[in-house]
Amino acid sequence: MADISEIRERLDNLGVIDHLIRSMRAMSAIRWRKARSSLLTAQRYAAHVQEQLSLAVSYPTSLVRGAYAGRRGPPLEQGSGEQSPTGRSPRQAPSRLALIVIASDHGLCGSFNTVLFHTADVYIDRWRKQNASVDLIALGEYARRYYCTKTDVCHLVWTHRFPLTHVVSFIETRDIWQKVEDLYQQGNLDELYLIYNHFISFGRYRQRMVRLLPPELTPLSASRGERPILGSKAVELQRFLLFEHLAMQLYLGLVESMVSEQAARLQSMDAAKANIDGRADELKQAYHIARQEGITQEMLEIASGAGYLDTSSSLSF
């Protein structure tokens, strides 16, 4: 017969775990809604910045011709066709690449990080086969832990963590992007890419790779009308909007990654809750069976004792 006290203790432990899972699920749901709201706002602002930048880069300046903030870069206007779609000559291959990987700071979100790292490793291996050096910028504690052990294939140059208690702000993203852009301006890298888990719908996400630097921009087509009148210098406005556009691309990646992460964590908590409910039902059934067996055993002992007393009484006479 199963020990009733042991079953009761295990049920109590499951109750404590169930309470923790319910609390974590509630917090993940709140953070998912906040991140989803931030994503919708960021997407509207990013579209507005993209529109204004397309208008601004229609003015021919040194920036538009390819000198991005004093560095050699791809022309924003296609010329005679000698440039590749990435803005480089077909004979030029980047030798110094950098990849920003956005992962989570905390676990309990299923395969959210492992699939992302696998996809990033595929790109890193492809670049290394082309004799390119790869630097890593890890955003998120799990990315830092993973790539600290991959020093033989890439170099981890910078890491940053995000508290779980709030959604990352655009001001914080501006500071991150400024540090990243400084590496590019100093000539420490030729191209910069971003990889993250792109949000599709609740419970669905996929890995997305985006090239940030050199920037890929499309000027306003001349067929759309005359150029707007600018109230400031064209190159200053272009640099401001370009910085804002690239920072927004990073911010969108961060927020989409957070939305996907919280959705994955919600799914994990739901699966854990279902597993605990199933296990609790099994233990409750075992508890009732053990209790009934205990009652039956006690009744048999009482009946046996009563029969023994009857036998003793008859023998005494």
The domains found in the chain, sorted by start residue, are 22-77+91-271 (3.40.1380.10)
Are 33 and 292 spatial neighbours (Cβ–Cβ below 8 Å)?
Answer: no
Omega before 214 cis (within 30°)? yes
- Measured CA to CA, the distance from residue 271 to residue 264 in angstroms comes to 11
Q: What is the pLDDT of residue 314?
A: 59
Tell me how far CA of residue 37 lies from CA of 43, 94, 191, 302, 311, in angstroms.
Answer: 10, 38, 32, 68, 82
Whether the Cβ atoms of residue 44 and residue 264 lie closer than 8 Å to each other: no
- Name the helix (H) or strand (E) containing 137: strand 133-139
**What pLDDT does 72 receive?**
40
Residue 157's alpha-carbon distances to 26, 134, 178, 179, 294, in angstroms, are 36, 10, 15, 11, 66
pLDDT means per 10 residues in the chain (317 residues)? 79 90 89 89 92 82 55 36 37 78 90 95 93 92 92 88 74 90 82 94 91 80 58 81 93 94 90 90 88 83 70 57
Strands (E), 166-227: 191-201, 204-213
pLDDT number for residue 146: 94
* Residue 229 to residue 204: CA distance in whole angstroms: 44
State the pLDDT at residue 80: 31
Dihedral, CA of residue 224, residue 226, residue 229 and residue 234, to nearest 10: 70
pLDDT of residue 93: 60
The whole-number pLDDT of residue 192 equals 94
pLDDT of residue 85: 34
- Cα angle for residues 219, 224, 226 (degrees, 5° grid): 85
Which residues neighbour 117 within 8 Å (Cβ) at sequence distance 6 or greater?
101, 103, 143, 146
Q: What is the pTM of this model?
A: 0.77
What pLDDT, on a 0 to 100 scale, did the predictor assign at position 220?
A: 65
Q: Specify the pLDDT at position 148.
A: 92
- 207-217 CB burial, b ≥16 within 10 A, e <16: bbebebbbbeb
